[in-house]
Structure 1
Amino acid sequence: MTLKETKVGLGGSIFFLVVGAICVFAVTPSAKKDVTWIDLTALGWIFILAGVVGIVLTSWYAKRKKRLDKEVNDNYQAARIARRQAIKRADAARASQPPRQQNSSDDAAAADGS
């Protein structure tokens, strides 16, 4: 989950919380009587519940993503260190070996220009 996705998840969840709180606490009983086809109090509590669940899930996913990113980064760093150490060992092994001598056939081929 990227930072943008986290912001959208938190923003949407807070929006649901606010709309739910308005439906439950701010709408007057006389206005609730005008809307007869739906119970605004029940709808408000559903929105509040959806907002709380959204905040919890967004936080959980963000923490999980952060932990996974850290593991991937740690594995990458360990691989880089191992690769550097292998290169250093190979360079040290090459440096400790005596220089290779050419065969006489190689000298003849070099002298002929072929």
Structure 2
Amino acid sequence: MCNTLEAEGHVVTTANDGVAGIAAFRAASARGETFAAVITDLGMPDVDGRKVASAIKAASPATPVIMLTGWGKRLMSEDDIPAHVDHLLSKPPKLRELRETLAQCCEPGRAQGAIEVSE
């Protein structure tokens, strides 16, 4: 996904887990850098996507959080989208859906920084 996003002109910062993702987001914020969106996986050890979303929104409520999960369709049909998540996509994400979601997140007037992917 990182290669695809970069090929489409996005600047991508990757993190291998939720702890690293939150740390990268906070470090960028401390430098005055913004992210147009944060993409996180729901199922990760220790710090899962729910905790990542919560930490991102606590630090920057306006930053859109996109969550990827294998349970996406079930969560959407049960109206059980986790708190602090702006968009929920099923894994593997369809490129068209990912593009549409990023276009919504990166509308004019929104921060045009990097996209962080927590895996």
TM-score, scaled to structure 2: 0.22
Higher strand share: 2
Higher helix share: 1
Instruction: Answer with 1 or 2: which has the greater Rg.
Output: 1
Structure number with greater CO (CA < 8 Å, separation at least 6) is: 2
TM-score, scaled to structure 1: 0.22
